[in-house]
Amino acid sequence: MGISIEVNVNGEKRHSEVDARLLLVHYLRDTLGLTGTHVGCDTSNCGACTVLVDGKAVKSCTMLAVQANGAEVKTIEGMAENGELHPLQSSFKEAHGLQCGFCTPGMIMTAANLLERNSNPSEEEIRHALEGNFCRCTGYHNIVKAIQLAAQQLT
């Protein structure tokens, strides 16, 4: 019943036997203990579970772990490099782009993909890009500011 998969998660090769129905988010959280990726809904809307799969933002609740076989997955735990926060991480703090923190990892991962596609997005483009990520705390105001700040730092 187990299917053998090999996934590069945050730069580390992980081999696991998984059930076909295991969602990527449960693989990350339960199998690998990477609990920074969250589950906020069961209809693939809220985006709290967003991770990067081969560099692209993906809702890990809407992908099977077996589909990630051979892929590179980056989670919030892999964003900082050599102890240096990624500019999106530091800008979320700087601009007060988070309150309870639950949506934050997903927001950051989506924003990373946005900035990869568009290094200098307008406010409207940022708001449109966050269509698949819900936040109940911030009213998005400071999330938009944080992403603008990160965009400046990354260019």
Of 49-78, binders to other proteins (CB under 8 A) are 50, 53, 56-59, 61-64, 66-67, 75-77
Instruction: Tell how strand 50-53 and strand 72-74 pair up.
Output: antiparallel
**CB nearer other proteins, residue 35 or residue 120:** 35
Q: Which of residues 79-108 bind other proteins (CB under 8 A)?
A: 79-80, 85, 89-90, 92-94, 96, 98-105, 108
**CB nearer other proteins, residue 13 or residue 49:** 49
Two structure tokens written together for 81: 């490099």
Environment class of 120 (CB within 10 Å of its CB; exposed 0-12, middle 13-18, buried 19+): exposed
List C-alpha distances in Å: 1 to 18, 40, 58.
8, 28, 26
Binding-site member from 7, 9, 23, 150 for other proteins (CB under 8 A): 23
**CB nearer other proteins, residue 8 or residue 127:** 127
Beta strands in 32-87 (DSSP E): 50-53, 56-59, 72-74
Is 19 among the residues that bind other proteins (CB under 8 A)?
A: yes
Binding-site member from 130, 149, 150, 151 for other proteins (CB under 8 A): 130
